[in-house]
Amino acid sequence: MQLNSQSNRFEIAGVDALQIVEKYGTPLFVYDSAKIIAQYKRMTDALTVKQLRINYACKALTNITILKLLKDLGAGLDAVSYQEIKLGLEAGFAAQDIVYTPNSVSIEELEAAMKLGVKINIDNIEMLEYMGINHPKYAFCIRVNPHIMAGGNANISVGHIDSKFGISIHQMPLVERLVDTLKMNIEGVHMHTGSDILDVDVFLYASNILFNVARKFDDLKYIDFGSGFKVKYKPHGIETDIEQFGAEMSKRFNDFCAEMGKDLTLMFEPGKFLVSESGYFFARTNVIKQTTSTVFAGLDTGFNHLIRPMFYGAHHEIMNVSNPTGKPKIYTVVGYICETDTFGWNRKITELKEGDVLCFLNAGAYCFSMASNYNSRYRPAEVLIHEGQDYLIRKRETFEDLIRNQVNPEISFAEKETTMS
Ligand SMILES: *Cc1c(COP(=O)(O)O)cnc(C)c1O
């Protein structure tokens, strides 16, 4: 979002932000396709290998139009549920371009996914053994846990020793024994060490562990290094240096292919990196409330629509779109949910009055996809800005949506009359 210095109004890819908000109402999610395209291109430019595949981790933002955009850019899809696979197919992805990376799902769900023909990532030894015995012909990928403690937050650091994800690197002898005995076709190895990796060296250290695993499988076609790419959440925040990372990673991967004597495919599965910064969340200020110690700005939204700040302390920049050049003041921004739902304490925002429109940045990843109907509120509409045009890509919910699946059986709860004799 940019301030147009002539009109003094904020614009998203050249489109007036307040006009979009007037047209569709608040609360509202708006996505800028140009940012997604630019992020995708940054990645593919940075990774200079013969065969590269970026599988978009769609749990970040599952709108079908966003999936189509990424498919048309050449991405594959990373799905973590049967339903995400179905969304991917709906968006037009070929089954073989979808990698299914589930954790703690039933054998029934895995087998249903296999019927659809997607790539399967195996996350535990028991499942590997079961698959080897029951589906000896299917090609599988193995998710390895290299036990690297990385990432900014314990909730999203999934590679360490106590993590529930993947097959421990220490269990590789058992994996090899199963694969050999059952003559399994292992076409890929995978790791996903966690979000918010800033230290390129830590990532490369973990990648060496995965290369060592990869050497053990003759049928190998791809190595999937997961994600962990950090984007800026604050103006002076730090992000993964994708260009430096890409250069070093590509060199190692190319060396590895030379060593193995074949061209493997290098895979990554970013979610946040591709879509976070493309998203803007707009809400209106219902009340300005001064207490003894604090000035609260109360919005027409809450953690039902944007839960990241309350759920894991995430920071989202907040700006007053209605008053771009006003004098800065300090506000604590809260939602309308009947539980404490603070979006940000003591935020410097240009002077606010009731009815002003606020915008949350970085609202593309894990925002709408985590939204709920808590407090029986409708989930917001979603709009895509593409080449100067705005497109509604999800309607705001209505009361019908709230009661659609409720069943109202004919039960009389009224007190029964007792017959007196
Ligand atoms: C969530 C997830 C990702 C994406 O993580 P980001 O931090 O959004 O890039 C990638 N791979 C797997 C297996 C995941 O579960």
Query: What is the DSSP track for 193-247?
Result: --S-B--HHHHHHHHHHHHHHHTT-TT--EEE----B---SSTT-----HHHHHH
* Domain annotation covers residue 344: yes
pLDDT for 200 equals: 81
pLDDT for 158 equals: 54
Atom nearest to 196 CA in ligand 1: 7
Residue 314 and residue 210 share a domain: no
Q: How far is CA 393 from CA 152, 357, 369, in A?
A: 32, 21, 14
Atom nearest to 229 CA in ligand 1: 9
Task: Specify the residue with its C-alpha closest to ligand 1, atom 14.
Answer: 57
Residue 209 and residue 299 share a domain: no
Residue 88 and residue 19 share a domain: no
Residue 287 and residue 255 share a domain: no
Could you tell me the CATH number of the domain that includes residue 290? 2.40.37.10
Interatomic CA distance for residues 110 and 131, integer angstroms: 10
Interatomic CA distance for residues 320 and 283, integer angstroms: 10
Residue 216 and residue 340 share a domain: no
* Domain annotation covers residue 178: yes
Could you tell me the CATH number of the domain that includes residue 190? 3.20.20.10
CA of 338 to the centre of ligand 1 (A): 31
pLDDT for 160 equals: 65
pLDDT for 286 equals: 98
pLDDT for 268 equals: 97
> Which residues, including other chains, have CB under 8 Å from residue 46's CB and lie 6 or more apart?
242, 243, 245, 246, 247, 250
CA of 335 to the centre of ligand 1 (A): 28
SS3 state of residue 91: coil
Q: Which of 246, 330, 348, 259 is nearest to 41 (CA)?
A: 246
Atom nearest to 158 CA in ligand 1: 15
Torsion angles phi and psi, residue 256, rounded to 5: -65, -45
Strand partners, 188: 141, 222
* Domain annotation covers residue 115: yes
Side-by-side strand order, sheet with 2-4: 2-4, 9-12, 15-16
What is the domain count for the chain?
A: 2
Where a domain ends, among 250, 270, 290? 270
Atom nearest to 101 CA in ligand 1: 13
The one catalytic residue among 58, 141, 257, 338:
338
Distance of CA 328 to the CA centre of its chain: 32
Using a 6 Å CB cutoff, which residues line ligand 1?
A: 57, 59-60, 78, 80, 101, 192, 195, 226-227, 229, 269-273, 365
* Domain annotation covers residue 95: yes
Residue 69 and residue 13 share a domain: no
* Domain annotation covers residue 140: yes
SS3 readout for 288-333: EEECCCCEEEEECCCCCCCCHHHHHCCCCCEEECCCCCCCEEEEEE
Residue 260 and residue 296 share a domain: no
pLDDT for 156 equals: 46
pLDDT for 199 equals: 76
Task: Specify the residue with its C-alpha closest to ligand 1, atom 15.
Answer: 80
Q: Which amino acid is at 92?
A: G
* Domain annotation covers residue 55: no
CA of 180 to the centre of ligand 1 (A): 30
Give buried/exposed letters for 337-359 (b at 16+ CB in 10 A, else e): beeebebbeebebbebeeebbbb
Residues of the chain with pLDDT under 70: 149-161, 194-197, 418-421
Where a domain ends, among 270, 285, 302? 270
> Which residues, including other chains, have CB under 8 Å from residue 48's CB and lie 6 or more apart?
246, 247, 250, 254
Task: Specify the residue with its C-alpha closest to ligand 1, atom 2.
Answer: 57
Q: Quick: pLDDT tens for 92-127.
A: 999 999 999 999 999 999 999 999 999 999 999 999
Q: Which of 269, 273, 275, 271 is nearest to 98 (CA)?
A: 269
**Residue written as token pair 């260009």:** 243
Pair 314, 361: CB distance under 8 Å: no
Atom nearest to 194 CA in ligand 1: 7
Residue 253 and residue 346 share a domain: no
CA of 270 to the centre of ligand 1 (A): 6
Residue 301 and residue 190 share a domain: no
What's the whole-model pTM score? 0.95
Interatomic CA distance for residues 111 and 117, integer angstroms: 10
Residue 249 and residue 299 share a domain: no
Probe residue for ligand 1, chosen from 121, 269, 273 as the CB with the greatest number of ligand atoms within 8 Å? 269
Task: Specify the residue with its C-alpha closest to ligand 1, atom 1.
Answer: 57
CA of 226 to the centre of ligand 1 (A): 7
* Domain annotation covers residue 51: no
58: annotated active-site residue: no
For 322, half-sphere exposure in the C-beta direction (CA atoms, 13 angstrom radius) is 14
CA of 406 to the centre of ligand 1 (A): 33
Q: Burial level of 403, CB count in 10 A (0-12/13-18/19+)?
A: exposed
Interatomic CA distance for residues 194 and 230, integer angstroms: 10
Residue 115 and residue 219 share a domain: yes
With a pLDDT cut of 90, the percent of the chain lying above it is 88
Interatomic CA distance for residues 96 and 116, integer angstroms: 9
Q: Which of 76, 3, 63 is nearest to 33 (CA)?
A: 63
Probe residue for ligand 1, chosen from 227, 233, 308, 368 as the CB with the greatest number of ligand atoms within 8 Å? 227
Q: Which domain holds residue 18?
A: 2-30+276-403
CA of 231 to the centre of ligand 1 (A): 13
* Domain annotation covers residue 415: no
Residue 259 and residue 331 share a domain: no
